[in-house]
Structure 1
Amino acid sequence: MSSTKRLLASIHDVSPRFEAQVDQLAGVLENHLGKGRFAMLVVPDHWGAAPLREAKAFQSRLRNWSDSGIEMFVHGWFHRDTGQHSGAANFKARHMTAGEGEFLGLEEATALRLMREGKALIEDIIGREVAGFIAPAWLYGKGSLAALGQAGFALAEDHWKVWKPGNDEVLAKGPVITWASRSAMRTASSLAFASLARTVLPHALDTVRIAVHPGDVSKPSLLSSIDATLGRFARSHRPARYAELS
């Protein structure tokens, strides 16, 4: 295993709404990467139905996870996209996510407010700075990108790269390996891509990113693929922290 090759893994949609699924995924990641060697993307109020501010027991779990070394990212606010889109943004909203690209169509002022409120809430809970901001579904509009430069986050990520919002310096490139559970066709496509990635990407990328979601635990085929993919890259890439990129 080369010390210059890094494996960055993350659990998305961390929320009281998905506590059992997050527990299961954390166990899978720990089995391959070790304790605290991955990130969690925290949603302050998933779809307006799971306010983190009121979930005291889950707040305690977030603090414990953070204390163990898990990096915490702000992952939108509601995660749900309620905007109206046109052109390229409409295509992204319809085909790249199931109504969850919350920050795709937000105006700069709204995006900045939600980013700052999410940052303050999660930092108050965990007692340290968050690692950065990652938009739901990795989708950003012009307003959200403009807000990122003002919100004070050290890192941001989309599907193709990790960068510093302050100066737009790109820190890592390459597609995120992720899975889809919401349709049979999308599941099959994600399984095929993960299989291809296990063959091609160990030699092609110094930094490999793997992202899992609560819905992944609903299908044994996805869990099997996640297990195989983590095992493959853990042999060639060192489990690392996003902070090491900056």
Structure 2
Amino acid sequence: MPSSELRISAETRRLLVSIHDVAPCFESEVDRLVEILEARLGAARFAMLVVPDHWGRASLAQAPRFQARLRGWAEAGVEMFVHGWYHRDDAVHGGGAGFKARHMTAGEGEFLGLSQAEVLRRMRDGKALLEDIVGMPAAGFIAPAWLYGPGAMAALEECGFALAEDHFRVWQPGNADRPLARGPVITWASRSTMRTASSLFFAALARRAMQRQRVVRIAVHPGDVTKASLVRSIDRTLAAFSAGHVPGRYAELLA
């Protein structure tokens, strides 16, 4: 869709859709998700969350073919976010962080327990790598599993990212108390039967309850394409919201 057709006013209801965990090890799954999204939204009307070295087993720096694909998607208009470094959480947690690490993700809250210095190193390295590959600024930073510890929140202000997102809001680093968008992300879970069932239920509920929300966010993951029930739910949810919301870009929230 030409950019001249995407002049969106502040009153327009927006639909922001993202593919998480974009990495060389998930290339075929990402291709399938791109196909699903473009069928409903049009070409390149979504964001990609790129992991530089997924679980230490899928180094983007050593994958020139996948780098070229990222560059092509970015040049077509896909927004590129840095999505952690490893995506894997190796920290030992206690208290509230321990609860989040156990119940909100399967060992993937990488930025939940890291020190500010280590977070800053990974953020800067990820930003430099992604920007070198795509030849343009990263759209922002989104932590794996949307989980940020104190070190991550502090480092965000130093790193120069335009946007950040968690499960309930989008904000400019340094202005977390003034969100640009609010409301839960609609997403799906494939790692267990119970989680799949609950995500299907929430998506069905959201298709009715969130129609009047100004900004709706939908996030899909490589694992979603492994279950036909999730693919059907994703397609129905995209159809339901694209009818009344304009598929847009995160950057439009800054306008």
Interval of TM-score (by shorter of Structure 1 and Structure 2)? over 0.9
Aligned to 2:199: 190
Aligned to 2:106: 98
Scaled by the length of structure 2, the TM-score of the pair is: 0.95
Structure 1 unaligned regions, length at least 5: none
1:1-246 correspondence to structure 2 within 5 Å: 4-168=12-176, 169-203=178-212, 205-246=213-254
Whether the 8 Å CA contact 1:40–1:71 is kept in 2: the answer is yes
Deviations 1:95-130 (A, max 9, x none): 000000000000000000000000000000000001
Note the C-alpha offset of 1:167: 2.8
Structure 2 unaligned regions, length at least 5: 1-8
CA distance in 2, matches of 1:89, 1:153: 24
Scaled by the length of structure 1, the TM-score of the pair is: 0.98
Note the C-alpha offset of 1:160: 0.1
CA distance in 1, matches of 2:41, 2:249: 11
Deviations 1:109-167 (A, max 9, x none): 00000000000000000000010000000000000000000010000000000000033
Counting aligned pairs with the same residue, the percent is 66
Whether the 8 Å CA contact 1:154–1:166 is kept in 2: the answer is no
* Counterpart AA for 1:126: V
Please tell me the root mean square deviation across aligned C-alpha atoms, in Å.
1.1
Note the C-alpha offset of 1:190: 0.1
How many residues align structurally?
Answer: 245
CA distance in 2, matches of 1:30, 1:130: 22
* Counterpart AA for 1:194: A
CA distance in 2, matches of 1:218, 1:16: 17
CA distance in 2, matches of 1:74, 1:101: 14
SS of alignment partner, residue 170 of structure 1: coil
Deviations 1:71-93 (A, max 9, x none): 00000000000000000000000
Aligned to 2:5: none
SS of alignment partner, residue 176 of structure 1: coil
